[in-house]
Structure 1
């Protein structure tokens, strides 16, 4: 009888624990949904990403991508012939094919494997990269006077004097306004370009424990051996390159959503960065303003331009 009573008590305790956990899980779910409804739908969203095309700036040793219409690899009787292009008129859809000479293209996320044979690849990055605090350190006024200016530890400390300590695990973007040259290849090839000093990178990672930093140019610095990128990759940190619209986000108080393609073993990531800014921020759109479903129609039918890019064309 004692064993039965003890068993009943244990069962009751277990049931209460399970019920409590379920209630807590439900509360957590409800709280996140409430946060989305009450906060995230009212925030301002700003895209920090360049759309890539076959004509964007890229390191000359890589070369540019090619955009092509997708063709059928087989014949399906009565539907499509081998080698035939899929069309809206015949198959009622279109598809594209891309020849990408490198994964270091456009707005990107560099994993350590880009430089280190023991480094994590893009497919190794954890899902915890998804959302982080966003810090923007503005050096664009200094770059106006010195096009080769590199973000320094002093710039970081000046930001902290104004906004407080950089949050651990945050993403630190360096605004230089270099991205305003995009996609003009001639202007983007101008040397020198703004960068981030090795001392600043070490300070951010070793003293502030950030997730990663990002910059607008396609390289970290102008040194002959790219000392900053070398140090980052060989110490197993990531970095963002080719970032846009940093002049449209606040220096502090925003979040960043991080997305990237996930080729297995990839040494680079075609990335999408979205800043999530406070509701009273002057730039961006809210989810209420642009819900995303349904999406607006194109003003004209989509046709490929001379570079293979589908664009609305009269």
Structure 2
């Protein structure tokens, strides 16, 4: 029998509303009232949202043809230990910062090696910009500008630390200027976990947290908005 020891539970998911930041050219998030208490005796809305909008998890088929969709993840694979690497001091003045192996090794000098099967969460400080969509996406004629995990760091984490995946508080695990999506591609090739647009990472310790990731089991979905609960010891 496995158990999760915790003192508190932190929700790492943003509230979903029509004003959330959206990836360029993604569909808008909408609510439509289809039943009202006055007319129908109950209240009901229909909602529409892109599979990679709000706090979300990407699926392998979003980058690899014939790979699994979001509905194929086993429930046990969505309960994972997590570590948090705080890189705010590196991103504050450099929105295009690429997280490298050196950032991981520096964290490990203090906290020890990252355990196999962990999800590595990167706290860039971008969560504070969520209510300002223009600054959150930070797009110009060259595309979005926000920090993300470099290809070399991802290779190191997968091959040397055998991680289960990564998460970040920006709109992409890959840096905004990365057009090949190397981090997503590498992790999802192994049916791993990629979480984007997380929040409340400032409330987590560097290590010891357990994540429980709730996906919408969209048939053959390329991803899903998610509820990510962090159980903090």
Give, in whole Å, the separation in 2 of the partners of 1:167 and 1:230: 22
Partner of residue 264, structure 1: 219
Does 2:59 match 1:111?
Answer: yes
RMSD (CA atoms): 1.8
Separation (CA, whole Å) in 1 of partners of 2:187 and 2:205: 26
Q: 1:157-306 maps to which residues of 2 (within 5 A)?
A: 157-190=105-138, 191-219=144-172, 220-221=174-175, 222-278=177-233
Q: Which runs of 5+ in 2 are unaligned?
A: 139-143
- Asked if the contact 1:261–1:271 (Cα under 8 Å) also holds between the matched residues in 2, the reply is yes
1:53 equivalent in alignment to 2:2: no
Kindly state the Cα deviation for residue 87 of structure 1 after the two structures are TM-superposed.
Answer: 2.3
Q: Give the CA deviation at 1:90.
A: 4.8
Number of residue equivalences: 226
**How much has 1:209 moved relative to structure 2?**
0.9
Contact 2:165 2:187 in 1 (8 A): no
Contact persistence 1:137–1:174 (CA under 8 A) = yes
More helix by share: 1
Give the TM-score, by structure 1 length.
0.68
Aligned mates of 1:168, 1:88 — CA distance in 2: 51
- The worse-fitting range, judged by mean Cα deviation, of 229-238 and 45-54 is 229-238
**Alpha-carbon deviation of 1:238?**
3.2
Partners of 2:48 and 2:69 lie apart in 1 by 21
Higher Cα Rg: structure 1 or 2?
Answer: 1
Residue 44 of structure 1: aligned partner: 8
Q: Report what 1:63 is aligned to.
A: 27
Does residue 1:97 correspond to 2:46, yes or no?
A: yes
- Answer whether contact 1:215 1:242 (CA < 8 A) is retained: yes
Q: Deviations over 1:146-176 (max 9, x none)?
A: 2221221111111211111111111110010
> After the TM superposition, which segments of 4 or more aligned residues of structure 1 sit over 4 Å from their partners?
none
Moved more, 236-245 or 176-185: 236-245
* Superposition deviation, residue 235 in structure 1: 4.7
String of CA shifts for 1:109-130, please: whole Å, max 9, x gaps: 1011011112111011111123
SS at match of 1:68: strand
Describe the superposition over 1:245-296 as per-residue Cα deviations: whole angstroms up to 9, x where unpaired. Answer: 1111111111111111101111111111111112xxxxxxxxxxxxxxxxxx
